[in-house]
Amino acid sequence: MVLVSFETFMQQLANGISIGSLYALIAIGYTMVYGILRLINFAHGDIFMMAAYFMIFSMVSFRLPWYVSIIIVIAFTVLLGVIIEKVAYRPLRNAPRMSIMISAIGVSFLLENLATYLFTGVPKGFPDIAFLTKAIRIGNISLTVATLLTPIITIILLYVVLFITNKTKIGMAMRASSVDFETARLMGININRVISTTFIIGSGLAAIGAVLWGSKYPSIYPLVGVMPGLKCFIAAVLGGIGNTTGAVLGGFILGMAEIMLVTFLPALTGYRDAIAFVILIVVLLVKPTGLLGEKVTDKV
Minimum Å gap between C-beta 271 and other proteins is 6
How far, in Å, CA of 72 to CA of 59, rounded? 10
Please report, to the nearest 10 degrees, the dihedral formed by the alpha carbons of residues 171, 198, 297, 281 taken in order: -130
Choice between 101 and 260, CB closer to other proteins: 101
How far, in Å, CA of 101 to CA of 204, rounded? 22
Choice between 209 and 290, CB closer to other proteins: 290
Minimum Å gap between C-beta 237 and other proteins is 7
Minimum Å gap between C-beta 291 and other proteins is 16
Choice between 92 and 164, CB closer to other proteins: 92
Choice between 34 and 66, CB closer to other proteins: 34
Closest CA to 253 of 226, 231, 268, 269: 231
**Interface residues toward other proteins, by CB under 8 A:** 38, 40, 42, 87-88, 91-92, 95, 98-99, 101-103, 105-107, 109-110, 112-114, 116-117, 120-121, 226-227, 230, 233-234, 237, 270-271, 273-274, 276-277, 280-281, 284-285, 288, 298, 300
Minimum Å gap between C-beta 247 and other proteins is 14
Minimum Å gap between C-beta 252 and other proteins is 20
Minimum Å gap between C-beta 192 and other proteins is 17
Burial class (CB in 10 A: 0-12, 13-18, 19+), 196: middle
Q: Are strands 124-125 and 219-220 parallel, antiparallel or unpaired?
A: antiparallel
Choice between 159 and 271, CB closer to other proteins: 271
Bridge partner residues of 135 (DSSP) = 144
Choice between 169 and 299, CB closer to other proteins: 299
How far, in Å, CA of 128 to CA of 190, rounded? 42
Q: Locate all alpha helices (DSSP H) within the chain, ordered by sequence.
A: 6-37, 44-56, 66-84, 97-119, 130-133, 145-167, 169-179, 181-186, 191-216, 226-239, 244-264, 275-286
